[in-house]
Amino acid sequence: MPVAQNWLVLSRPDCSLCDELLQELVEILGPLAEQVQVQDISGDTELERKYGQRIPVLLIDGEFVCAYRLDRTRLQAFLPSRGKYWPV
């Protein structure tokens, strides 16, 4: 499987679960964590309707991976293989 290109965390201000999920991604992805983008959904009517309070949400290449907490099992499908930065 090719390495995922578009990592997006949907977030809100002052979201401790968002901070935790992002920290876990940094630990897992290492230098590739720089590719992770964070988008505040506050004020985005469509995203507010779609996700509401179900934040954080991790999308990889547009595909829903998990909400609230990092699902390491689902995340494995998007990682090229285990190695130095893939201790999932």
- Find out whether 79 and 27 touch, Cβ atoms under 8 Å: no
Look-up: residue for tokens 């507010």?
48
Angstrom CA distances, 3 to 27, 57, 87, stand at 17, 20, 16
Total structural domains in the chain?
1
Does 63 fall in a domain? yes
The model carries a pTM of 0.85
The pLDDT of residue 81 is: 63
Q: What is the CATH number of the domain that holds 49?
A: 3.40.30.10
Inside any domain, residue 84: no
User: Taking Cα atoms as reference points, which of 45, 61, 47, 67 lies closest to residue 2?
Assistant: 61
Does a structural domain hold residue 65? yes
Per-residue pLDDT of the chain (88 residues; tens, 9 = 90+): 455 679 999 999 999 999 999 999 999 888 888 999 999 999 999 999 999 899 999 999 999 999 999 999 999 888 876 544 455 4
- In terms of residue numbers, what domain contains 67? 7-76
Is the bond into 56 cis (omega within 30 degrees of 0)?
yes
- The confidence score (pLDDT) of residue 82 equals 53
Q: Would you say residue 41 lies in a domain?
A: yes
Specify the pLDDT at position 2.
Answer: 52
